[in-house]
Amino acid sequence: MQFVTLTIDGTEVKVLAGTSIMDAAKKAGVHIPSLCFLPGRPARGVCRVCSVAVIDRRGLVSACSTPAAEGMEVETQLPVVQQSRRVVLELALAEHGPCDENVCGGEHKCQLVQLARKHGIRDKRFETMEKPVREDLSSDNIQVQPDGCILCDRCIQACGDLHIIARAERGASTHIIFDADRSMGESNCIACGDCVAVCPVGVFK
């Protein structure tokens, strides 16, 4: 087996080649926040909350989808990293819209709001756009409240090989669909509840 050694916030860590910066950071005892990362599934790198700086590399990189490399120097707390993280969270808050008991369980349960607060974000700077789809109550087991969806793709990852949940459209019209745009009740969903368990903003109930 081949190993690589890198430093994360000044802490040296040795990991197997191919290990992501995110997993290397965990081994080094460094926490990197994320909204889309789901352990055990291929990283999608869509939320960008886990962006970090790699010395001598231009721009920020996604920690969940970037492999660790020999001699790499990673910084997770630089001002540019913190600022990028706050902007990404603010945009996600705008995508999410107002928190309430029916959408995400309220601010005391919403993982997005809690993460934003940890980064000093209290108010929303960006306007929430109207979503192209409405709630889906067609299933006897799972309710879908797409108004709060932040397109983190965790439900898609959790659905795994079943491929029932996917994205549709582009830009502001992007939304999640079931089995080529059926309702959840008409889809091949087996009501395993994995989407409910992983959604950070309570879209699935």
pLDDT category at 108 given cuts 50, 70, 90 is: low
| Whole-number average pLDDT of the chain | 90
Maximal CA-CA distance, the chain: 53
Containing H/E element for 7?
Answer: strand 3-8
Is residue 73 over pLDDT 70?
yes
Q: pTM (2 decimals)?
A: 0.86
pLDDT of residue 181: 82
Contacts 24+ apart (CB under 8 A), 128-131: 128/94, 128/95, 128/96, 128/97, 128/98, 129/94, 129/172, 131/97, 131/175
Task: Give the separation between CA 196 and CA 122, rounded to whole angstroms.
Answer: 26
Residue 197: what pLDDT?
93
Bridge partners of 144, per DSSP, are 136, 204
In this prediction, residue 96 carries a pLDDT of 87
Residue 118, pLDDT above cutoff 80: yes
CA distances from 17 to 12, 24, 32, 42, 122 (A): 15, 10, 20, 16, 40
Q: Find all residues with CB under 8 Å of 39, minimum gap 6, and list them.
A: none
pLDDT tens-digit series, residues 10-62: 999 999 999 999 999 999 999 999 999 988 888 888 999 999 999 999 999 99
Q: Which of 191, 147, 200 is nearest to 165 (CA)?
A: 191
pLDDT bracket for residue 171 (50, 70, 90): confident
Provide the pLDDT confidence category of residue 163 given band limits of 50, 70 and 90.
Answer: confident
Q: Six-digit token pair at 51?
A: 């962006």
Q: List the domains of the chain with CATH numbers.
A: 3-77 (3.10.20.740), 84-198 (3.30.70.20)
- Whether the per-residue pLDDT at 119 is higher than 60: the answer is yes
